Structure 1
């Protein structure tokens, strides 16, 4: 079976989004661009689809028009190795019109939702000491951008 490929529906900015995402994530590239032809729903010669990979995962950006938009019901998790990586992705995704949300969620300037999560959060939440794990969870629920040091501080509180 071939990989399942998420298709992201944009109004007209699919190519711009694909260029942004492939510049942001390692091991990413645009693999194909198709254009509307004659007698198609879009203006002839404009971009119809952009096939691209983010860290090897295939995606398609479809310029299908304004009738559908993104919401938080679908998001993409970026599992970060440390606070520096959290900061880098958070700043890139919130920049140029992106929006911060709660608990490490952000909506980029194209309206796509992302979860920017440090690996350490999952380590803390899986700890066998459920009281410590709960303190980390409660701290996370009060944050916008996740802060590893603050999560660890809440976890260790007596």
Structure 2
């Protein structure tokens, strides 16, 4: 069976990012982490492939041991639907800490409240209260 999952590639911070997402976002968990061992291409102990769930969405993540001339871009983001304004404010503040705000929390006409932020790992999040 063919399937598709978002794949997040980090350069050495995959487990740190996943731990942060699990601690911050409801319905998130790490399901499995496969690590590089001694003598393998990646640094020993780094994430070869992780399977996780973020806000109910199955994802994959890894630490690339090859430096790339690119990173995450806001053109691909996760959108989090919030149950109330308090949750939106909490998630927006937590995700933006050490990152940045692309669109400050507000009413932009398409929902009651919306924000768009980059987290400290460079990944982009849209936080929405429909």
Contact in 2 for aligned 1:14/1:62 (Cα 8 Å) = yes
Measured in 1, the distance between the counterparts of 2:31 and 2:118 equals 25
Contact in 1 for aligned 2:22/2:54 (Cα 8 Å) = yes
Q: Which has the higher helix share?
A: 1
Following TM superposition, by how much is the alpha carbon of 1:22 offset from its aligned partner in structure 2, in angstroms? 1.0
Q: Deviations over 1:78-99 (max 9, x none)?
A: 112222111011111111x110
Aligned to 1:144: none
Measured in 2, the distance between the counterparts of 1:62 and 1:108 equals 17
Higher relative contact order (CA 8 A, sep 6+): 2
Measured in 1, the distance between the counterparts of 2:71 and 2:125 equals 15
Aligned to 1:22: 22
Could you list the runs of 5+ residues in structure 2 that have no partner in the other structure?
Answer: 105-114
TM-score (normalised: structure 1):
0.67
Aligned to 2:87: 85
Aligned to 1:51: 51
Following TM superposition, by how much is the alpha carbon of 1:56 offset from its aligned partner in structure 2, in angstroms? 2.5
TM-score (normalised: structure 2):
0.80
Structure 1 runs (4+) deviating above 6 angstroms are: none
Measured in 1, the distance between the counterparts of 2:35 and 2:81 equals 34
Aligned to 1:111: 122
Contact in 2 for aligned 1:94/1:108 (Cα 8 Å) = yes
Measured in 2, the distance between the counterparts of 1:110 and 1:52 equals 16
Q: Deviations over 1:93-150 (max 9, x none)?
A: 111x11011262100000000111111xxxxxxxxxxxxxxxxxxxxxxxxxxxxxxx
What's the secondary structure of 1:59's corresponding residue?
strand
Contact in 2 for aligned 1:70/1:111 (Cα 8 Å) = yes
What's the secondary structure of 2:75's corresponding residue?
coil
